[in-house]
Structure 1
Amino acid sequence: MASLPPPPLVSVSPPVPPYVVALADDLSGAAETARALGGPVRLSLDAADVAEITATQDLVVDLDTRRLSPAEAADAVRTALRAAQAGPPRLLYKKVDSQLRGHLAAEAAAYAEGAEAVVIAPALPALGRTVTGGVVHVKGVPLHLTDGWRAERASAPRSLAEALSGLPVRTVPLDVVRSGPAALGAEFRQIAASGAHPAPDAETDADLDTVAAAALRLGPGFRLLGSGGLAAALGRALPRPAVGTSPPAPSPEGTPLLFVVGTAEPGAVAQIAHLTALGAHHVPLDPADLAAGTVRLPPPAAAPALTVLSIDGSGGTRPGTGRALSTALGALAAAYPGRPDLVLTGGETARTTLDALDIRELEPLGEIHHGAVHSRTPDGRRVVTRPGSYGAQDSLLRIAVALRPRLAAATAAT
C-alpha cells in the first residue's frame, strides 16, 4: 500500500505570554500604560524591579530616562531588557510619547536589539493624535506644524522615519492595516525579513486593535512600541482577568489637596482658572525664585484645603530648564504641610515629587479621564498623575471633584 505523503510543514509562532513588562520614559506615561493594559498590574518607579518578575500580573516601570543623555537612556533600556528576559516569559512593550518627545531614536534602537522586529505605532486616537503616511498628526495638523515641542531644545520631527533616525523604518499604509490581522501580520513579517521595522498608520482604536492582533500572531519576537493607545489595544487582545472598577474610599476628612502643575502647555492656565473659580488658592511661582529656593510655604495651620502650585510661564518658556524647575517644584510639593493628596501634571513633575517623598511604587486604582490615573501610595496617600498635554479645560476640576466628591455641589453652583 502506497504510503501517504507527509503533512505540509506549518510555521508556528511561539506562544505569546499573557503578561507584559512595559518600559516607560516618564511617570505619567507609565501610569497611563498601567491603566491602559487593563489587567492586574504593578507600577514601579524602580528599574531594578524588572528583575523581580514573579506574580501573574503586568509590570510597568518608569525608567525616568527623559532626564538622561540619549546614550544613558539607551543603556537604561538595554539593562531593563536583559533583566526582563532573564525572568519568566513576558511580552515586551515600550511606551513612548505620542508626540515623539524624549530620546525616541536612542531608546527604540536599544529596544530593537535582539528582536525580529519592532512594530511602531504611536497613534493615540482618544486625543486626536493619528499617524497617516508615516507622519504624526495632532487633530489633523502635522506634528511639526504644532507647538507640541515648544519646551524642547529641538524642532519636532516631520515623520516617524526622521524621529527614529538610524533605525530602518517602513511605513505600512492604512489600507493594508485595514486588510485584517492575517494580511497585516504577513506584511510585518515581510518588512522584518527585509531588515526594517514596520510602522503602521493608524487613525482609530480599531486600527490599533488590528495592529496589536497582527503582531501577537507573530510571537514575542515582534515587540510593540507605542503610546497608551497601542497599550490599550494590547490589553484588549490579551486574555487576562479583568481588574475590578469599584471606586476607592475617600481620603480622611480634612486631608488637603495639592495640585502641582509643572507643564508648559498653554491650556494649563484655563485648567487652573476652573479651580480658582471654585475657591482654590493658586500660587504662581516665579521660575527664578523657584530655582533659587526662595519660595515660602504657608505654615501648617494656614495651609488651604485646596491649593495649586504652578510655574509662572508669562515670561515665556526656556527650553532645557524643565528638569531643574521640576526638581525644585517637586521638592517644594514634598515639603507642603498637612500630608496632602497630590495631583501631578507632567511626567517630570510627577517623578521629582514622588522621588522627593521617597515613594517607589504606586497602586493604580482607576482613571478619572484619559491619562488622569488615580493611584494609591504604599502608605495610603492618593496621587493622580496626568501627562502635561492631556485634558480639556475642566480636566483639573474633574480630578478635584473625583477626589473630593463634596465639591460637586459647589461646582454646580459656579
Structure 2
Amino acid sequence: MASLPLPLRPSVSEPVLPYVVALADDLSGAAETACALGGLVRLSLNAADVAEIAVAHHLVVDLDTRHLPPAEAASAVRTALFAAQAGPPRLLYKKVDSQLRGPLAAEAAAYAEGAEAVVIAPALPAARRTVTGGVVHVDGVPLHRTDGWRAERASAPRSLPEALSALPVRTVPLEVVRSEPAVLDAEFRRIAASGAHPAPDAETDADLDAVVAAALRLGPGFRLLGSGGLAAALGRALPRPATATPPPAPAPAQDGTPLLFVVGTAEPGAVAQIAHLTALGAHHVPLDPADLAAGTIGLPRTAAASALTVLSIDGSAGPRPGAGRALSTALGALAAAYPGRPDLVLTGGETARTTLDALGLRELEPLGEIHHGAVHSRAPDGRHVVTRPGSHGAEDSLLRIAVALRPRLAASTAVA
C-alpha cells in the first residue's frame, strides 16, 4: 500500500483528530480490528511500523505474539508501546482474544506500564461472547466449561481476574455500566485510584459503547484493551475527518484466478464449513499432522489444477496441544508454494500470519467484511486475501466467502 502523505500541522484553533495505534496479538484479530476502527487505516505485519510518524490514519500492527512465551510477548508489547508513545499523540488500543487465549496476563501487564488504568473489556457480542460477573461466556456458557481451549496446553481461566493474574483487576457490574455516565466515570476513577484496573461487564454493543465513551472522557491515561467488539465501539466513537476518502468497496476477484482456502483452525465446525465447499466441487486436501510437521507432504497435481482448493489439517485424531505454531508454519509454507498466485482465504490467525510470512507480504489493505470477522483485503501483489479467526463463522462461512470472491458460484448455491 502506498504511504499516505504527512498532514499539515493544524493551527491552534483546529482540533487534532484522534488516530489510533492498535497492537494485535495475531493477524486475523488485527484485520478484524482494522475493519472495526473504520476510516483511513493501515494494517501492518511489521512491528517496526509503530514508529512511523504519519498520523493521518489509524495504524493496526500484528505483533504476532499469540504463540510466544509470556516474557517475549511482554517485551514485544513494551517495545511497540514505547515506539508509539515516542511519536505524535495517538490513542492506544490493545487487541486480545475474546476467549482469553495467548500470553494475555504478560501482555496486559506490559501494556499497563505508564497508564493510569487499563479498561479491560473482551466481550464480543457479534460472536455471542459476553462478560458477566467478570466471567467470559460463550453462547451463555462460562468459558471454562466450553471446549474453546481444546488446543491449548492450559485450562481456560474462570474469570478475568484469574486470566489477568499479573494485574490487579476489579470487575464492574452491568448495572454500573448501564447507569448514568457520571456514575461509570466515577467507578473507573475509584478503581484506578486504588491501583487496580476496571473490567466492566458487557453483553451488548451498547454496553461496549458506554465503556469506550467513559474511557475517552477520562483521557489518554485510561487505555483500552479488548476484542474486536471493543474496537468497533471505539471506531463508532471517533470523529471522522470531513475530507476522508471512504475505503474502496470490496470488488470480486477475477474468476480465472485460483482460489485457495487454508484452514488451520482446530475448531470442530471447520469440518462442516469445508463440506459446503466440497459440495461446490472444491478439491479438499486433508493433511496428516505428523507428515505436515515432518515436511514430507507435497501438493497433489489434482489440487494444483483445481480452481477451488481447500488445504486443512486432518483433525480426526483430536487436537494436538502445543503443536499449533509448528503446524501453522508448515501449512503456510505449503500454501505459499501453491502455483498460479491464488487468492487466499486464511482461517486462524497463526495460519494467516505464517502464510503471508512465507509469501513475503508485510501489509494488507482492508477492503471490508464479508461477514463478521471475515475481512477482505488486498495484498501489495494485487491478490485478494480473506482472513478470519478460526473460532468465527457459522457453518456456511467459507461458502459465503467463496461466493463473495467468485460471484458466479452464487448460481450453484442458496446463498443470497
**In which range does the TM-score fall when normalised by the shorter chain?**
over 0.9
| Deviations 1:330-375, CA, capped at 9 Å, x for gaps | 0000000111000000000000000000000000001000000000
CA contact (8 A) 2:250 2:376 kept: no
| Deviations 1:378-403, CA, capped at 9 Å, x for gaps | 11110000000000000000000000
Counterpart for residue 121 of structure 1: 121
Counterpart for residue 272 of structure 2: 270
- What is the CA–CA distance in structure 2 between the aligned matches of 1:25 and 1:70, rounded to whole Å? 12
- What is the CA–CA distance in structure 2 between the aligned matches of 1:144 and 1:124, rounded to whole Å? 17
Q: How does 1:51-90 map to 2 (within 5 A)?
A: 51-90=51-90
- What is the CA–CA distance in structure 2 between the aligned matches of 1:385 and 1:302, rounded to whole Å? 22
Q: Which amino acid aligns with 2:260?
A: L
Is 2:199 the partner of 1:221? no
Q: Which amino acid aligns with 1:312?
A: D
| Deviations 1:148-201, CA, capped at 9 Å, x for gaps | 000000000000000000200000010000003322111101110010000000
What is the CA-CA distance between 1:140 and the residue it aligns to? 0.6
Q: Which amino acid aligns with 2:388?
A: R
Q: How does 1:182-331 map to 2 (within 5 A)?
A: 182-241=182-241, 244=246, 247-299=249-301, 302-331=304-333
Residue segments in structure 2 that go unaligned for 5+ positions in a row: 1-14
- What is the CA–CA distance in structure 2 between the aligned matches of 1:249 and 1:207, rounded to whole Å? 34
CA contact (8 A) 1:16 1:219 kept: no
Counterpart for residue 91 of structure 2: 91
Counterpart for residue 387 of structure 1: 389
327, 347, 359: which one aligns with 1:345: 347
Counterpart for residue 10 of structure 2: none
Counterpart for residue 45 of structure 1: 45
Counterpart for residue 399 of structure 1: 401
CA contact (8 A) 2:285 2:303 kept: no
CA contact (8 A) 2:176 2:184 kept: yes
| Deviations 1:294-323, CA, capped at 9 Å, x for gaps | 212144995200000000000111100000
What is the CA-CA distance between 1:17 and the residue it aligns to? 5.5
**What's the secondary structure of 2:216's corresponding residue?**
helix
Q: Which amino acid aligns with 1:37?
A: L
Q: Which amino acid aligns with 1:157?
A: P
- What is the CA–CA distance in structure 1 between the aligned matches of 2:55 and 2:118, rounded to whole Å? 26
* More moved, 183-192 vs 137-146: 183-192
Q: Which amino acid aligns with 1:59?
A: L
- What is the CA–CA distance in structure 2 between the aligned matches of 1:301 and 1:186, rounded to whole Å? 60
- What is the CA–CA distance in structure 1 between the aligned matches of 2:375 and 2:327, rounded to whole Å? 23
- What is the CA–CA distance in structure 1 between the aligned matches of 2:303 and 2:138, rounded to whole Å? 45
Q: TM-score, length-normalised on structure 2?
A: 0.94
Counterpart for residue 150 of structure 1: 150
What is the CA-CA distance between 1:289 and the residue it aligns to? 1.2
Counterpart for residue 414 of structure 2: 412
What is the CA-CA distance between 1:38 and the residue it aligns to? 1.2
- Evaluate the alpha carbon distance shift between residue 301 and residue 231 of structure 1 in structure 2; reply closer, same or farther with a 3 A threshold: closer
CA contact (8 A) 2:33 2:95 kept: yes
* More moved, 46-55 vs 147-156: 46-55
- What is the CA–CA distance in structure 1 between the aligned matches of 2:369 and 2:240, rounded to whole Å? 19
- If you compute each CA radius of gyration, which structure gives the higher value, 1 or 2? 1
What is the CA-CA distance between 1:406 and the residue it aligns to? 0.5
Residue segments in structure 1 that go unaligned for 5+ positions in a row: 1-14
- What is the CA–CA distance in structure 1 between the aligned matches of 2:398 and 2:233, rounded to whole Å? 27
Identical pairs, percent: 87
**What's the secondary structure of 1:310's corresponding residue?**
strand
- What is the CA–CA distance in structure 1 between the aligned matches of 2:245 and 2:332, rounded to whole Å? 31
- Evaluate the alpha carbon distance shift between residue 279 and residue 301 of structure 1 in structure 2; reply closer, same or farther with a 3 A threshold: closer
What is the CA-CA distance between 1:249 and the residue it aligns to? 3.2
What is the CA-CA distance between 1:329 and the residue it aligns to? 0.1
CA contact (8 A) 1:300 1:337 kept: no
- What is the CA–CA distance in structure 1 between the aligned matches of 2:277 and 2:142, rounded to whole Å? 32
Q: TM-score, length-normalised on structure 1?
A: 0.94
What is the CA-CA distance between 1:251 and the residue it aligns to? 2.4
Is 2:121 the partner of 1:131? no
Q: What is the aligned-residue RMSD (CA, Å)?
A: 1.6
Runs (4+) of structure 1 exceeding 6 A deviation are: none
CA contact (8 A) 1:38 1:243 kept: no
CA contact (8 A) 1:129 1:139 kept: yes
CA contact (8 A) 2:19 2:55 kept: no
CA contact (8 A) 2:283 2:303 kept: no
CA contact (8 A) 1:180 1:210 kept: no
CA contact (8 A) 1:17 1:91 kept: no
Q: Which amino acid aligns with 2:203?
A: E
CA contact (8 A) 1:78 1:110 kept: yes
Q: Which amino acid aligns with 1:354?
A: L
| Deviations 1:56-88, CA, capped at 9 Å, x for gaps | 110000000122110000000000000000001
**What's the secondary structure of 2:407's corresponding residue?**
coil
- What is the CA–CA distance in structure 2 between the aligned matches of 1:250 and 1:142, rounded to whole Å? 39
CA contact (8 A) 2:25 2:66 kept: yes
- What is the CA–CA distance in structure 2 between the aligned matches of 1:182 and 1:367, rounded to whole Å? 35
* More moved, 25-34 vs 182-191: 182-191
| Deviations 1:204-223, CA, capped at 9 Å, x for gaps | 00000000000000110100
CA contact (8 A) 2:255 2:406 kept: no
Counterpart for residue 177 of structure 1: 177
CA contact (8 A) 1:177 1:211 kept: yes
